[in-house]
Structure 1
Amino acid sequence: MGKGGKEKLKTPTDIGSNAAQTVADALNGILANSYALYLKTKNFHWHVSGPHFRDYHLMLDDQATQILGTTDQIAERVRKTGGTTLRSIGDIARRQTIRDNDAEFVSATEMLAELREDNLKLVEQLREAKDIVDEAKDNATSGVLDDWTDQAEERAWFLFEASRGA
């Protein structure tokens, strides 16, 4: 972006600039992890194998769709509060804390366990962001964080239950 480009994207907000930047940083971290989790979930969806193939394949596709569905909302919250958001795969890679899995083969049991832990890491990040946005008095972001937390908790629960006895 050229000189002064950030000023051209400035969105009016009543949230103080330091607080808005802190909110944007927290949300951009969540967004990067959401993309990383989305791609890992799709990877496992594409490569799951075994006796529960159909059930796991469908569950992982549903979960990936849900994760991807939050990404636009997250990015738009950043923009609505005056920030700028992710622009590239490289930007995601620099910010993500959920690790990729490039293994040639991962058992279905290991897939479910890894995704469960990743969703729980996302829940932890969402809870931390909740404190940040509440401090900034960003009520709208606070409300949607509750929804995203509930969704991630549900995914972790389903992954846990699907792996019982596996």
Structure 2
Amino acid sequence: MSTQEEVRQQAGTVDENRLRLEQGKAEQIVEALNTDLASTYVLYHQLKKHHWNVEGAEFRDVHEFLGEAAGRAEEAADELAERLQAIGGAPVAGGKNLEAHAPVDPEGDDVYDVRTSLENDLEIYGDIIESLRDHVDLATNLGDHATAEILRQLLIEVEEDAHHIDHYLEDDTLVVSE
């Protein structure tokens, strides 16, 4: 165990960056990216929960999709954290901090039916989509085109996953209810 006690950067602060993004602009973007990071981790954990608990006739497809979607959310979180660190920020971390910083609400700890679970996922996806769109505009307006491009790419992936969930929720199915 390390005995080092030197704090390299205080949580919630923004240091100067070598990307020449003005401090005030970097602070705004770091705040936005930390919001997206926190929301993405809430989504990740909810997707994993549903991946573990999904049952029923469509188990395999939904199980595989949720596992892959959780993987994409984890990759997105990593990209967000690395970008905000590059512009001088400290990525929000830790379960309690992430949930407190996220503007999205995870479902409860109980296990729900597949349709309810997917509807809850779609709700978080929608909130993240709206946030990403706002933050693309923010980064663009502040002249941080690299962050805007990263967010655009993440937005494409998030919208695609939301679209797939929407298809799972359609009422046309080969499964006959009794």
- Using the size of structure 2 for normalisation, the TM-score is 0.86
Q: Which residue of 1 aligns with 2:176?
A: none
1:86 corresponds to 2:105: no
Distance 2:170 2:91 in 1: 38
Equivalence for 1:155: 161
Aligned 8 A contact 2:36 2:132 in 1:
yes
Q: What is the aligned counterpart of 2:126 among 81, 100, 120?
A: 120
Once the 2 structures are TM-superposed, how far is the Cα of residue 9 of structure 1 from its aligned partner? Answer: 5.7
1:34 aligns with 2:40: yes
Distance 1:22 1:16 in 2: 10
Native 8 Å contact 1:15 1:136 kept in 2 = no
* 2:22 is aligned with 1:16: yes
Conservation of the 8 A alpha-carbon contact between 1:19 and 1:136: yes
Q: Is the 8 A contact 2:14 2:90 kept in 1?
A: no
**What whole-Å deviation, never above 9, does each CA across 1:69-114 have from its counterpart, x for those lacking one?**
1111101110111222113222202201221222422110111111
Find the aligned partners of 1:110 and 1:153 in 2 and give their Cα distance.
Answer: 19
Say whether residues 1:95 and 2:101 are aligned partners: yes
Higher percent of residues as helix: 1
User: Cα distance, 1:24 vs. partner?
Assistant: 0.1
The alpha-carbon distance between structure 1 residues 105 and 87, as it changes in their structure 2 partners (threshold 3 A), is: closer
Question: Paired residue for 1:75?
Answer: 81
Task: Name the residue aligned to 1:133.
Answer: 139
Structure showing greater relative contact order (alpha-carbon pairs closer than 8 Å, 6 or more residues apart): 1
2:52–2:63: 8 Å Cα contact kept in structure 1? yes
Structure-2 separation of matches of 1:29 and 1:8: 15
The alignment of Structure 1 onto Structure 2 pairs a total of residues equal to: 166
RMSD: 2.1
Distance 1:73 1:3, change over 3 A: closer
1:44 paired to 2:50:
yes
1:105 is paired with a residue of what secondary structure?
coil
Structure with max Cα Rg: 2
Amino acid at match of 2:162: A
Change (3 A) 1:134 1:48: same
Q: In structure 2, do the counterparts of structure 1 residues 90 and 31 end up closer, same or farther at CA, with 3 Å as the change threshold? A: same
Structure-1-length-normalised TM-score: 0.91
Shift of 1:42: 0.3
**Matched residues in 1 for 2:80 and 2:97: separation?**
15
Distance of 2:69 and 2:91 partners within structure 1: 23
Match for 1:84: what amino acid?
A
Q: Identity over aligned residues, as a percent?
A: 23
